Structure 1
C-alpha cells in the first residue's frame, strides 16, 4: 500500500511537472520571469526550448520577433496651431528588437502576459503615447502649411522620426508609419478660397509692378529726348555743318545765314 501511494505521488508530481512545462515557439523570444519579478530585472532572462513554469511566481512571456501591424480603431481629433480641427487615424508596423526582449517584458509586465501581450502593449502603451506625440506635433503647424503641396508629407516625416525614437527607447523597431490626416470639407473649402484670393493678389501685384516699369521706361525716354533737344543749340548745328562741308561742294536751296556772312 505504501509503495502504491509512493508511486502515485511520484506519478502525480511527474504529470504536474510535465503539465507545467512550456515550449518557446519558433521565431519568438522566451522571457522567463521568476520570483514574481521582486528583484527587478535580474529575475528576468531569455530562454528557449522547453521551459519549466511549475514554481510559484514563475511566468513565461512569449515575445514575437516578426513584424507586428497595428492601427488606431478610431480616428482621433487634433488641432493645428491656428486652432483648426482635423483627424488622424495612424497605422504602423514594428518588431521587437531581440536583444531588448527582456526590457519589453520588464517594462510592460503590468499589462498582463499570454498570447494577448503584444495587443495589450499596443492598446495600453504604444497608441496612447503615439496620440500624445501626434497631438503635440500638430500644434506646431498651421492648417495652410499642412494642406499645401507636400505639407502633410513633411508633417508625417517629422512625426515618423519622433515615433521611431520613442519606439527605440522601448526596445521596438518602427518599420512603417502613416498618420493618415483628414480635413473636413468645410476646412478644405476655406483653404481653397484663401488660396484663390492669394493667387489673385499675386497676379495684381505682378501687373502693378509691370505698369511701374513701363512708366519708368516712358519717363526715361522723355528725359532722354529733352536732354537731346536742349543740347542742339544754334552754335552746335553750325559747327556740325561746317565740319561735314568741305567748302567746295555747291550748296542748293536755302543757304544758312552764317554761310552767307562767311562767303
Structure 2
C-alpha cells in the first residue's frame, strides 16, 4: 500500500513537472514581431542562425530562451541637444525619428548588442542620430544652414539612414526640430520688422501720391470748366438767359429804367 501511494505521488509530481515544463517551453510570437531563439549554455551562447516567424514556438526552457523584436514602425522623440555649426554657432536639435527593424536582422542585432529593442533605441540609435547631426553641422556655416535648411536636413536624414541600415534598422522618417540661436532669431525678427515698416511707409507714400494726383486732376478739371464757361459766356447769351428768367418788370439801372444792362 505504501509503495502504491509512493508511486502515485511520484506520478503526480512528474505529471505536474511535465505540465509546468510544457507550459513554459512554448510561447507565441505576436503579430508584427520577429522571434529569436537564444542558447543560454554551450560554446555559442548566442543566437541561432534561424528567424522564428510569428506563431507558437517550442523550446527548452532550461537551456534556451526566446526573445521578441518588433518589426512594425516605431516612433521615438529624443531629448533635445546642442550642436555647433562650422563657424561656432550653437544650434538646438530636438529630433523625432520613425524606424523599424529590417526583417531577418533581429538575430544579428541581438547577437551584437545583447539588449532588447527599447534599450537599443534609447542608447545606440540615439547616439547614431546625434552623430549624424554633429557631422553635418561641422560642414555647414550658420548662413548656409539657414539658407539651405531643407538640403541640410535631407543630408542628415540620408546619413542617419545609412548608419542605421548597417545595424539592421530602416529609417522611415526624421524630424529635426531644429532651433536657431537666440541671436539669429532676434536678428531675423528685426529684419522682418524693418521690412514691414518699409512696406508700410511705401504704401502710405502711394496713397499720398494717389490723393495728390486726384486733387491735381480735380483742379485741372475745374480750371478747364471755368475756362470753357468764360469762353461761352457772351453778352448775347447773358441777355438770352435774362429774358428766360425775366419776371415782366423793368429793372432799374442807374436813374432810369433800362431793359438791358451793358455787361461789356
TM-score interval, smaller chain = 0.5 to 0.7
Give the 3 Å change call, closer, same or farther, for CA 37–141 of structure 1 in structure 2.
farther
* Equivalent residues of 1:63, 1:101 under 8 A apart: yes
Q: What is the CA–CA distance in structure 1 between the aligned matches of 2:118 and 2:127, rounded to whole Å?
A: 13
Structure 1 residues 147-193: Cα deviation after superposition (integer angstroms, max 9, x where no partner) = 11xx1111110011100001110111111112121013312334677
Unaligned runs of 5+ in 1: 112-116, 196-263
CA distance in 1, matches of 2:166, 2:175: 20
Q: For 1:176-191, list aligned pairs within 5 A.
A: 176-190=173-187
Give the Cα separation in 2 of the matches to 1:63 and 1:118. 6
Number of equivalent positions:
187
In structure 1, the residue matched to 2:109 is 104
Alpha-carbon spacing, 1:44–1:38, altered in 2? closer, same or farther (3 Å): farther
Q: Which residue of the other structure, out of 172, 176, 197, is the alignment partner of 1:175?
A: 172
Aligned-partner Cα distance in 2 for 1:22–1:46: 15
Residue 32 of structure 1 aligns with which residue? 37
Deviation at 1:57, TM superposition (A): 4.2
CA RMSD of aligned residues (A): 2.5
Q: Decide which of 149, 162, 166 is 1:165's aligned counterpart.
A: 162
In 2, Cα distance between the equivalents of 1:175 and 1:6? 57
The answer to whether the Cα contact below 8 Å between 2:109 and 2:167 also exists between their aligned partners in 1 is yes
Runs of 4+ in 1 over 6 A off after TM superposition: 191-195
Q: TM-score, normalised by structure 2?
A: 0.64
Secondary structure of 2:87's counterpart equals coil
Counterpart for residue 6 of structure 1: 10
- The question of 1:86 aligning with 2:78 is answered no
Which protein has the larger Cα radius of gyration, Structure 1 or Structure 2? 2
Matched, 1:66 2:63: no
User: Which has more helix, going by share of residues?
Assistant: 1
Mapped contact 1:69–1:94 kept (Cα < 8 A): yes
- Kept in 2: contact 1:36–1:57 (CA 8 A): yes
In the TM superposition, what whole-angstrom CA distance separates every residue of 1:76-116 from its partner, at most 9, and x where no partner exists?
Answer: 0010000000100111111111121211222221x3xxxxx
